[in-house]
Amino acid sequence: MNKPNSRRSFLKKTAAAAVGASAVAAPAVARAQSPIKWRLQTYAGPALAEHVIKPSIEAFNKVARGEMEIELYFADQLVPTGELFRAMQRGTVDAVQSDDDSIAAPVDISVFGGYFPFATRYSLDVPVLFNQYGLREIWEEAYGEVEGVTWLSAGAWDPCHFATKEPIRRLADLKGKRVFTFPTAGRFLSRFGVVPVTLPWEDIEVAVQTGELDGIAWSGITEDYTVGWANVTDYFLTNNISGAWCGSYFANTEKWEALPEHLRELFRLCMDSSHYYRQHWYWGGEAELRVRGKEMKLTSIPDEEWAQVEAEALKFWDEIAAVSERTARVIDIFKKYAATMEKAGRPYRYTR
């Protein structure tokens, strides 16, 4: 007669033990399900980031389904852009989207980030150079020698044009112009009398309005309109010193290697998505705004004069090639690529 009671008693004790065990285990389960958090800072301000990175980060967070969340910060929001590389090494930020030049990456190839004079004519040149001509391997080699930061991927942005208050129609018009631009681009443009100026990104519009700057050589016309610079500059010079900005994604090495492989692959896919979006957004925007943009008048420097700038760029290339064996390899690739494109002819290159 006691057996049923004994059985019920046993079941109650077993159930109570199971509940107790699950209660003890619950905090561990909650910790396992908490998302990995990253802080990523881009070089771009809020309006520009809406296009150059935000869609891909939102897609990552959606597809990661709570396993990981990337918090996106804009230009200088957490750390000044020039200090981003060191901040990544320290773990102040987990990842960065910028060019090597602007974040003062301590590698000899950093000069090729941003706008390296005439290395590219079109945005598609950048992915071809990295994926078919060997730049990817060189970048991986260079950053493999640096502690704490992993280079992940490079892509193309817009071409480099002047947006100015006064019209630029001759090379002589560049002399004395105080211009916001990238470090290496500024170093090259100073050969033509340009005075490079470094300021926080968010201060540029006001600096043009107050006369602290005479112009900007930081983007193409799409960005000029997107970020508001077209409202404070009156002229857009159609000649450019580079067909595409070369920017990259970087991550703190410890944080990158700690990610599960499927999240690393997801991040790679989202970088590629970002690269693709920029290809068509800029390419279409550059043409559309030249034709239908109302805020800026187009000017051009005659081809025979601009040829002097192109010739000077080749001298600049040779100077950079002399810096190290690795920079010489990059310049050799640029020369081989340029020769191939010239021989291929239209539509790859248009000769005069």
CATH value at residue 310: 3.40.190.170
**Measuring CA to CA, which residue among 112, 103, 107, 278 is closest to residue 185?**
112
Q: Are residues 90 and 137 in the same domain?
A: yes
Q: Are residues 142 and 82 in the same domain?
A: yes
Q: In this structure, how many other beta carbons lie within 10 angstroms of the beta carbon of residue 238?
A: 15
DSSP state of 162: E
The pLDDT of residue 3 is 43
The packing angle between helices 325-344 and 135-143, to 10°, is: 160
Helix (H) / strand (E) element for 206: namely helix 204-210
Reported residue count of the chain is: 352
**pLDDT one-digit tens code per residue, 181-202:** 999 999 999 999 999 999 988 8
Task: Give domain status of residue 86, yes or no.
Answer: yes
Q: Which domain holds residue 266?
A: 35-155+245-288
Q: Are residues 195 and 46 in the same domain?
A: no
Q: Are residues 105 and 142 in the same domain?
A: yes
Distance of alpha carbon 54 from alpha carbon 48, whole angstroms: 9
**pLDDT one-digit tens code per residue, 294-307:** 999 999 999 999 99
Q: Are residues 249 and 303 in the same domain?
A: no
Encoded tokens for 98: 């910028």
Task: Give domain status of residue 214, yes or no.
Answer: yes
Distance of alpha carbon 7 from alpha carbon 149, whole angstroms: 62
Encoded tokens for 152: 């992940």
**Measuring CA to CA, which residue among 306, 168, 291 is closest to residue 222?**
291
The SS3 of residue 97 is: strand
Task: Give domain status of residue 10, yes or no.
Answer: no
The packing angle between helices 303-321 and 325-344, to 10°, is: 150
Q: Are residues 130 and 74 in the same domain?
A: yes
List beta partners, residue 252. 149
**Measuring CA to CA, which residue among 294, 251, 249 is closest to residue 274?**
249
Residue with tokens 């109650």: 12
Q: Are residues 70 and 218 in the same domain?
A: no
Show the low-confidence residues of the chain (pLDDT under 50). 1-31
Q: Are residues 335 and 250 in the same domain?
A: no
Query: String of b and e for 13-38 (b: at least 16 CB within 10 Å)?
Result: eeeeeeeeeeeeeeeeeeeeeeebeb
Distance of alpha carbon 159 from alpha carbon 150, whole angstroms: 26
DSSP state of 293: -
The pLDDT of residue 102 is 93
Do 148 and 272 form a contact (C-beta atoms < 8 A)?
no
The pLDDT of residue 11 is 42
Q: Are residues 94 and 46 in the same domain?
A: yes
User: What is the tally of structural domains in the chain?
Assistant: 2
Encoded tokens for 44: 């771009």
First-residue to last-residue Cα distance in the chain:
107
Concatenated DSSP letters of 247-268? EEEEEEHHHHHHS-HHHHHHHH
The pLDDT of residue 201 is 87
Task: Give domain status of residue 24, yes or no.
Answer: no
Q: In this structure, how many other beta carbons lie within 10 angstroms of the beta carbon of residue 313?
A: 17
Q: Are residues 184 and 217 in the same domain?
A: yes
**Measuring CA to CA, which residue among 232, 186, 255, 226 is closest to residue 44?**
226
The pLDDT of residue 352 is 55
Q: Are residues 209 and 280 in the same domain?
A: no
Q: Are residues 197 and 340 in the same domain?
A: yes
CA angle at 161 for the pair 85 and 198, rounded to the nearest 5°: 40
Q: What is the CA radius of gyration of the chain?
A: 26
